[in-house]
Chains A and B, each alone.
Chain A
């Protein structure tokens, strides 16, 4: 009786040990694969930043030479073509910058510290709205809690949210923007509300997708990377993002941050 029991237990122990060992091996292999993937991703973004910009610079530079030196030989339509080329160079440059930033958020290690959201928001407002424009917009900021996170990344979030609120209410009659926060359970919920063009709630799941845009370039400029960036940053802080809106009735954008965050923003 006792004898068989021990045999069973021994066999079970052996099995567990073997499983553990093979699991350990698998984890090590997967980690190595992931590290290789991250290194390749870094090499890729390096190449994007260096090699894609050089031809772009040449296109921009030489079309500028063309307009400077031969502009008088062209008619209005010819000069317009050059302008279109140059505008697109600027746009692609912006796109490359945005994509690089996005890939860095995925692969980078970020230091977390105490961040005063009020200070960050005030600084971003100053950056986003030139002094001359500040009278056109009414921005109200409720008291905001301090959080644990990466200050640069959270600044990016506000830069995109506040930048969007300003951009999408710039042609609306009401240029009122309100920023606030509340606590719900173990989360901080931050939000920003504008009275701008809003969006069709049908598309609210598309808003945060990369290269997804609900407006044309002519209506509102943009690369379609901003909100994707916000989403990645907030996910790396273990939070959530969403938005509510109606066409021509403004929009509210939200993000949450856990009240008790870890100290590190590890990738993965």
Chain B
């Protein structure tokens, strides 16, 4: 039996932000193959198919990671650093989706090789629009290396 490839890995510890993100993606019909984890350790376990995700085939996605920065256990910037310094995962598009508009977070994310940096809008309509656009861009428009 073929398992469904996961297209979006959402790394978000705030359950309400997670629900809103998923709803926003669903509005754009982009939430069908989404996995939600709530800390940095789980995110890395998922990507590298270990721990409780050991059964997973690592070649089955994700195609894009939506990453919060302030996370329990392993922070978002450390997750980003790990992913971008591993040759197996460094091509994986990572979009930071955060409340922080601090320059130092933005600069450090880009230095670590983030593919996009989005500040979560407080206004839900803008939130839907931002999440929809980034989902559309990374899942439909962007052409990753084969």
Indicate with 1 or 0, residue by residue over B102-146, a CB within 8 angstroms of chain A CB atoms. Answer: 100000000000000000111111010000000000000000000
Q: Is the CB of B20 within 8 A of A58?
A: yes
A73 near B: Cβ within 8 Å?
A: no
Q: Is the CB of B99 within 8 A of A61?
A: no
Q: Is the CB of A57 within 8 A of B122?
A: yes
A124 near B: Cβ within 8 Å?
A: no
Distance from A201 Cβ to chain B, minimum over Cβ atoms (Å): 38
B91 near A: Cβ within 8 Å?
A: no
Task: Select B122's contact among A51, A62, A65, A93, beta carbons within 8 Å.
Answer: A93
Distance from A51 Cβ to chain B, minimum over Cβ atoms (Å): 8
B100 near A: Cβ within 8 Å?
A: yes
Q: Is the CB of A61 within 8 A of B127?
A: yes
A154 near B: Cβ within 8 Å?
A: no
Q: Is the CB of B102 within 8 A of A57?
A: no
Task: Select A53's contact among B20, B23, B99, B124, beta carbons within 8 Å.
Answer: B99
With CB as the reference atom, state the residue of chain B lying closest to A58.
B16
**Which residues of chain A are near B14, meaning CB under 8 Å?**
54, 58
Q: Is the CB of B122 within 8 A of A49?
A: no
A109 near B: Cβ within 8 Å?
A: no
Q: How far is the CA of A46 from the CA of B100 in the complex (A)?
A: 8
Q: How far is the CA of A204 from the CA of B100 in the complex (A)?
A: 36
Q: How far is the CA of A60 from the CA of B16 in the complex (A)?
A: 11
Q: Is the CB of B20 within 8 A of A50?
A: no
A261 near B: Cβ within 8 Å?
A: no
A90 near B: Cβ within 8 Å?
A: yes
B14, B23, B124, B125 pick with most chain A CB within 10 angstroms? B124
With CB as the reference atom, state the residue of chain B lying closest to A63.
B124
Interface size on B, residues (CB 8 A): 18
Q: How far is the CA of A64 from the CA of B122 in the complex (A)?
A: 12
Q: Is the CB of B20 within 8 A of A61?
A: yes
Indicate with 1 or 0, residue by residue over A133-154, a CB within 8 angstroms of chain B CB atoms. Answer: 0000000000000000000000
Q: Is the CB of A90 within 8 A of B122?
A: yes
Q: Is the CB of A60 within 8 A of B122?
A: yes
Q: Is the CB of A93 within 8 A of B99?
A: no
A234 near B: Cβ within 8 Å?
A: no
B101 near A: Cβ within 8 Å?
A: yes
A89 near B: Cβ within 8 Å?
A: yes
**Which residues of chain B are near A38, meaning CB under 8 Å?**
none
A56 near B: Cβ within 8 Å?
A: yes
Q: Decide: A61 near B124, CB < 8 A? Known: A50-B70, A54-B14.
A: yes
Indicate with 1 or 0, residue by residue over A61-74, a CB within 8 angstroms of chain B CB atoms. Answer: 11011000000000
Task: Select B123's contact among A49, A51, A65, A90, beta carbons within 8 Å.
Answer: A90
Q: Is the CB of B99 within 8 A of A49?
A: yes
Q: Is the CB of A57 within 8 A of B100?
A: no
For this complex, 13 residue pairs linking A to B, each with C-beta atoms less than 8 Å apart, are: A49-B100, A50-B70, A50-B99, A53-B120, A53-B122, A54-B16, A57-B127, A60-B123, A61-B124, A61-B127, A64-B124, A89-B122, A93-B122
Chain B residues engaging chain A, CB cutoff 8 angstroms: 14, 16-17, 20, 23, 70, 98-102, 120-125, 127
The 3 A-B pairs at the shortest CB distance, nearest first, are namely: A58-B16, A93-B122, A64-B124
Other A-B contacts than A57-B17, A57-B127, 20 sampled, CB-CB below 8 A, are A46-B102, A50-B70, A50-B98, A50-B100, A51-B99, A53-B99, A54-B14, A57-B16, A57-B20, A57-B121, A57-B124, A58-B17, A58-B20, A60-B124, A61-B20, A64-B124, A64-B125, A65-B23, A89-B123, A90-B123
